Amino acid sequence: YHDLPMSSLYPLKFKPTYQERIWGGSRMHALLNKGICQNGGCGESWELSGVEGHISEVSNGFLAGNDLQELIEIYMGDLVGDRVYEQFGTEFPLLIKFIDAMDDLSIQVHPGDDLSKKRHNAYGKTEMWYVLHADKGSMLNSGFNHPVDREKYLEYFNSGRLTELLHFEEVKDGDVFFIPAGRVHAIGKGLIIAEIQQTSDVTYRIYDYDRKDKHGNLRELHTDLALDAIDFSYKEDYKTKYKPVKNKTAEIVTCDYFCTNIVLFDQPVDKEIAHIDSFVIYICIDGACNIVWDGGSEQVQKGETVLIPASLTEYRLEPTSGETKLLEVHLP
């Protein structure tokens, strides 16, 4: 396909890959039109991934069957943006997932870029959560509930009282939490979450409620590795404040690794993205719309994720089922 005009790039959809997890549920099928894991316990749907061994494969249009990495090798900056290609080469820098927690997830922390590079030759993992659905009373953990130092942390950890130091808070649909690398965190039972993160699969499990896997073994903890990765600082409020504006694009989170906006609309919204020199990802979290560009139209429904190539600089979002809500993600 080297003879194809670059302008023939179009909004790309990918086959989700489902990950069974000990805490996984079965609600993504009903809520997000996802498939069902064969053995139940479908904890994660990886929507768009450049993680080795889990690289997403295109499901629509003439590029169907090619994987994301092959596309970056061929289209380079036309797909991801020139500056993004210069920085990351053929590695796609973000990972998009849906998570369905039927049970509490382990308490964990992700190392930052420097520590990850040194230990795992990988990127760090800064992430954010958008709560798509919360059962009444569902909680999550983000950070500590008062200032803590390494000594105090170890004292509580070693006496089995770690959870007394952690900030747990009840959440509802639409809540957002930004989790920089180093912040201790855990998703609680009853939550369905859209997660946007750096491409990294490095996770240090700190505490897992003494749970056993199906073979009766305690799950592995990474106590010592985690210690150097933890940011012990304290915040008064860990929740991200944002305000959707109808028929406009409103910012939710901007950090060194990604910008995430929310687009809430019941009328067409025109987009012009040449100035950002980055791909754009849309995650449809409510309703449905057509993405219309000079050359075609692609429908996106609730639960679908679509990648807009950087070379597709002008397009329009047209709602097809009343009020529609998209998360819009690109590189800063």
Q: What is the mean pLDDT of the chain?
A: 93
pLDDT score at 35: 79
Round to whole Å and give the CA distance between 184 and 148.
12
pLDDT score at 247: 97
pLDDT tens track for 68-124: 999 999 999 999 999 999 999 999 999 999 999 988 889 999 999 999 999 999 999
Position 144, amino acid: F
pLDDT tens track for 243-302: 999 999 999 999 999 999 999 999 999 999 999 999 999 999 999 999 999 989 999 999
Residue 312 has pLDDT above 60, yes or no: yes
DSSP single-letter state for residue 105: P
Round to whole Å and give the CA distance between 36 and 113.
34
pLDDT score at 1: 41
Q: What percent of the chain has pLDDT over 90?
A: 80
pLDDT tens track for 6-24: 558 999 999 999 988 888 8
pLDDT score at 262: 98
Q: What percent of the chain has pLDDT over 70?
A: 97
133-139 average pLDDT score: 97
* Residues whose CB falls within 8 Å of the CB of residue 172, separated by 6 or more in sequence, listed in order: 131, 134
Residue 40 has pLDDT above 90, yes or no: no
Confidence of residue 4 (pLDDT cuts 50, 70, 90): low
DSSP string, 208-273: -TT-B-TTSPBPP--HHHHHHH------S--BPP----TTEEEEEEE-SS-EEEEEEESS-EEEE-
Cβ burial 79-114 (10 Å sphere, 16+ → b, else e): bbbeebbeebeebbbbbbbbbbbbbbbbbbbbbbbe
pLDDT score at 24: 83
State yes or no: is 83 an active-site residue. Answer: no
Q: Which of 83, 183, 205, 211 is catalytic?
A: 205
CB 311 within 8 A of CB 9: yes
